[in-house]
C-alpha cells in the first residue's frame, strides 16, 4: 500500500541504476545483520479491514455522557470551524516552515498564535509552542538558570505530573531536584516560601488556578520571589484567562501552560501544546521556534522563523534546549479557537464553567458527609471531602458520568471536581442525587 509504481516501473528503474535487483542496493548491509526472515508481524491488510480494527479499539473505551473531571485535561466546547480549518490538508501535510517563500500560510498562522497567546497572558513575547504544559514549565525553569542561580522552587499545589516532569528536567541539567514549597489550606505557603528563597534561587513556579482549583495570592508570591532576586514563573489555565487577572498583572516574568482546552479535545491526553510567554527582556532565552515579521526584497510584509541562532541545529551542544519540533498544527488549532471565540466567547466559557462549578459545590455540600476541603476563591475546580470516594465513583460510572478525580488529603478521602461549559444543570442535579445515594445508601 502507498507505493505507487508498477513492476515495469521498478524494472526500468533498476536498469537505469544498473543493478539486477533491489537486494543489490543493500550490499553495504552485512549478512550478519540482514534480516533473513519476515518481521514477526501480520501481513498487510486492506483499508477496510484496518478501519474495522481501529473502530474496535475506539469502541472499547467508555463514552461518558458528562465529564466532571479536570486535573489538567478539560472537556470544553470546540466550535466546528476549528476542526474544519485544522483538517485542511495543506496545513496537515506541510513541513516545518524553513522555506518562507512556500510557507507564508503556516508562518503567519504561528505569528497570529504568538500574538493571541500574548494577548491572553498579558506578556510581551511567545514562542511557537512546545510539547505540553509540563515541558513548558520545565523549559521555563531552564530559561531562568544562570551562573550562581540554579535552584528551583515549586509549589506543592502545582499539578503533580507537571512537578514530576520539571523534576526530571531540572535534575538532569543541574544534578539537583527542585525544592517543594509546602501548602497550607491547599494554597502555597508564602511564609515557607520566604524561608526557602536564597540568592541561589533561579525561579519560583506556581500554578494559577492551582491544582485544587484555588486562586493563589500570586502577587505576594511574585514579590517574595523578586525581592530575593529570583524570577517568577506562573503556569496558567488558558480558559481562566477569559476572566482572570493575567500573569503579567500578578508580576510573573514567564507564563506557561497547556493549550489543550483551546480546541484540542481530550484525545486521551495528546497531542496537546505547551505555550510559553515572557517579558521582553527574556526573549532570547525562549526555547524552540519563533516567527517574526519582516519584508521580502520587494518590501512586501512577510514572516520567517527567526532568532534561529538560539536553536539546536545551530548551537548544538551549547543550545539551551534540544527542542526541534513544535506542536504546529495544535498551535494553529488553538489560534482558530481563540480567533473564532474571541474575548467574549472565552469569557462565556469561563463564566459558564464557574457558574456550573458553584452550583455543583452548593448541591454537593448540602449532602451530609460532604464538605468543601479548601475554602477560598476558585475558578471551575474544587475539592470536597467525601466518606468513600470509591462508592461515589462507582455509582457515577454506572450512570455514565465521569466523576471528579479521587484524591487523598491529610489521609482523608476527597474528590477534585470540575465543571465546564459542556455540563448541563440537569446533569449537576443528577450527579448530586447519585452522590447522595452513594453516601446515604
Partner 1 sequence: MTIPENLLYSKTHEWVEKHGETVRVGITDHAQDSLGDIVFVGLPAVGDRVEIGKSLADVESVKAVAEVYSPVTGVVLSVNDALVSSPELINEDAYAAWLVEIAAESFEDLLDAAAYGKLLEEEG
Partner 2 sequence: MKLVFERSLPGFVNNYLQDCTIPADFSSVRAQKPSLPEVPESELARHYTTLASQTRGVNGGFYPLGSCTMKYNPAAHEAYAALPGFNVHPLAPPDAVQGCMAVLWDTQRALCEICGMDEFALQPAAGAHGEYAGLLLIRAFHRANGDTVRRNILIPDSAHGTNPASAAMAGFHVVNVPSTSEGLVDLDALRSLANEETAGLMLTNPNTVGLFDRNIEEITRIIHDVGGLCYYDGANLNAVMGIARPGDMGFDVVHVNLHKTFSTPHGGGGPGSGPVGCKAFLRRFLPAGHIIKQSDGSYISETPESSIGRIKLFYGNFLVIVRALAYILTLGSDGLKQASEIAVLNANYLLSKISDLYDVPYPGHCMHEFVISLDRFNKSHNVRALDIAKALIDCGIHPPTMYFPLIVQEALMFEPTETETLATLDEAAEALRSLYRMILEMPEHLQNAPHNTAISRPDETLAARKPHLTFQ
The residues binding partner 1 (CB under 8 A) are 284, 308-309, 314-315, 318
Residue 229 Cβ vs partner 2, minimum distance, rounded to whole Å: 25
Q: Which does 90 bind (CB under 5 to 8 A by kind): partner 2, partner 1, none?
A: partner 2
Size of the site for partner 2 (CB under 8 A): 195
For residue 301, the SS3 value is strand
Residue 268 Cβ vs partner 1, minimum distance, rounded to whole Å: 39
* Binders in 235-274 for partner 2, by CB under 8 A: 241-246, 249, 258, 265-273
Query: Which residues on neighbouring strands pair with residue 256, listed in sequence order?
Result: 235, 276
Residue 196 Cβ vs partner 2, minimum distance, rounded to whole Å: 22
Region of 103-111, 146-154, 362-370, 429-437 interacting with partner 2 (CB under 8 A): 103-111
Q: Give all strands (DSSP E) within 313-411, no chain letters.
A: 371-372, 381-385, 401-402, 405-409
Element (H, E) at 119: helix 104-121
Q: Does 397 bind partner 2 (CB under 8 A)?
A: yes
CA–CA separation, 287 and 321 (whole Å): 6
Per-residue x/- marks for partner 2, 66-85, CB under 8 A?
-x-x-xxx-x-x-x-x--xx
* Binders in 413-432 for partner 2, by CB under 8 A: 421
The residues, ordered by sequence, that sit 6+ positions from 432 with a Cβ below 8 Å of its Cβ are 360, 363, 364, 366, 367
246 grid coordinates: 493575567
* Member of 20, 28, 410, 441 binding partner 2 (CB under 8 A): 28
How many of the other CB atoms lie within 10 Å of CB of 397?
A: 13
For residue 219, the SS3 value is helix
Q: Does 161 bind partner 2 (CB under 8 A)?
A: yes
CA distance readout (Å), 386 to 212, 233, 439: 15, 33, 8
CA–CA separation, 362 and 198 (whole Å): 43
422 grid coordinates: 459542556
Per-residue x/- marks for partner 2, 375-394, CB under 8 A?
--x---------------x-
Cβ proximity of 322 and 177 under 8 Å: no
Q: Which does 387 bind (CB under 5 to 8 A by kind): partner 1, partner 2, none?
A: none
Residue 349 Cβ vs partner 2, minimum distance, rounded to whole Å: 6
Residue 193 Cβ vs partner 2, minimum distance, rounded to whole Å: 19
* Member of 13, 146, 184, 375 binding partner 2 (CB under 8 A): 13
- The two beta strands, 301-305 and 274-278, are unpaired
CA–CA separation, 367 and 365 (whole Å): 5
Residue 232 Cβ vs partner 1, minimum distance, rounded to whole Å: 22
Q: Does 148 bind partner 2 (CB under 8 A)?
A: no
Cβ proximity of 258 and 273 under 8 Å: yes
Q: Does 325 bind partner 2 (CB under 8 A)?
A: yes
Residue 200 Cβ vs partner 1, minimum distance, rounded to whole Å: 17
Q: Does 434 bind partner 2 (CB under 8 A)?
A: no
Residue whose CB is less far from partner 1, 283 or 371 = 283
Q: Does 186 bind partner 2 (CB under 8 A)?
A: no
Amino acid at each position: 500500500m502507498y507505493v505507487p509504481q508498477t513492476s515495469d516501473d521498478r524494472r526500468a528503474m533498476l536498469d537505469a541504476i544498473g543493478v539486477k535487483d533491489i537486494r543489490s542496493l543493500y550490499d553495504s548491509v552485512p549478512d550478519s545483520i540482514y534480516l533473513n526472515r519476515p518481521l514477526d508481524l501480520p501481513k498487510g491488510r486492506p483499508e477496510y479491514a484496518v478501519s474495522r480494527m481501529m473502530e474496535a479499539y475506539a469502541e472499547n473505551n467508555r463514552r461518558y455522557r458528562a465529564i466532571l473531571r479536570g486535573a489538567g485535561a478539560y472537556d470544553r466546547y470546540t466550535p466546528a470551524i476549528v476542526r474544519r480549518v485544522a483538517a485542511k490538508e495543506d496545513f496537515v501535510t506541510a513541513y516545518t516552515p524553513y522555506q518562507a517563500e512556500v510557507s507564508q500560510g503556516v508562518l503567519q498562522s504561528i505569528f497570529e498564535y504568538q500574538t493571541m497567546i500574548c494577548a491572553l497572558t498579558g506578556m510581551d513575547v511567545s514562542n511557537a509552542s512546545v510539547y505540553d504544559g509540563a515541558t513548558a514549565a520545565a523549559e521555563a525553569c531552564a530559561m531562568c538558570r544562570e551562573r550562581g542561580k540554579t535552584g528551583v522552587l515549586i509549589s506543592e499545589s502545582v499539578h503533580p505530573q507537571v512537578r514530576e516532569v520539571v523534576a526530571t528536567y531540572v535534575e538532569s541539567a543541574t544534578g539537583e531536584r527542585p525544592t517543594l514549597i509546602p501548602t497550607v489550606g491547599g494554597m502555597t505557603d508564602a511564609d515557607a516560601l520566604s524561608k526557602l528563597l536564597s540568592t541561589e534561587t533561579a525561579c519560583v513556579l506556581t500554578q494559577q488556578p492551582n491544582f485544587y482549583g484555588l486562586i493563589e495570592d500570586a502577587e505576594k508570591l511574585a514579590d517574595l520571589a523578586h525581592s530575593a532576586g529570583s524570577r517568577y514563573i506562573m503556569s496558567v489555565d488558558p480558559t481562566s484567562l477569559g476572566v482572570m487577572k493575567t500573569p503579567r498583572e500578578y508580576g510573573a516574568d514567564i507564563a506557561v501552560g497547556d493549550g489543550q482546552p483551546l480546541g484540542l479535545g481530550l484525545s486521551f491526553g495528546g497531542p496537546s501544546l505547551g505555550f510559553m510567554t515572557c517579558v521582553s527582556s527574556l526573549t532570547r532565552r525562549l526555547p524552540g521556534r519563533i516567527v517574526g515579521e519582516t519584508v521580502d526584497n520587494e518590501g512586501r510584509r512577510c514572516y520567517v522563523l527567526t532568532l534561529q541562532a538560539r536553536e539546536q541545529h545551530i548551537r548544538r551542544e551549547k543550545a539551551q534546549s534540544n527542542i526541534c519540533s513544535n506542536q504546529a498544527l495544535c498551535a494553529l488549532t488553538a489560534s482558530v479557537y481563540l480567533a473564532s471565540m474571541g474575548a467574549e466567547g472565552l469569557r462565556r466559557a469561563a463564566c459558564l464553567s464557574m457558574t456550573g462549578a458553584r452550583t455543583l459545590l452548593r448541591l454537593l455540600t448540602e449532602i451530609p458527609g460532604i464538605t468543601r476541603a479548601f475554602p477560598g476563591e476558585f475558578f471551575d475546580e474544587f475539592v470536597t471531602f467525601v466518606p468513600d470516594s470509591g462508592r461515589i465513583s462507582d455509582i457515577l460510572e454506572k450512570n455514565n458520568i465521569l466523576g471528579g478525580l479521587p484524591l487523598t488529603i491529610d489521609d482523608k478521602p476527597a474528590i477534585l471536581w470540575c465543571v465546564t461549559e459542556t455540563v448541563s444543570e440537569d446533569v449537576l442535579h443528577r450527579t448530586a442525587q447519585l452522590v447522595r445515594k452513594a453516601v446515604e445508601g
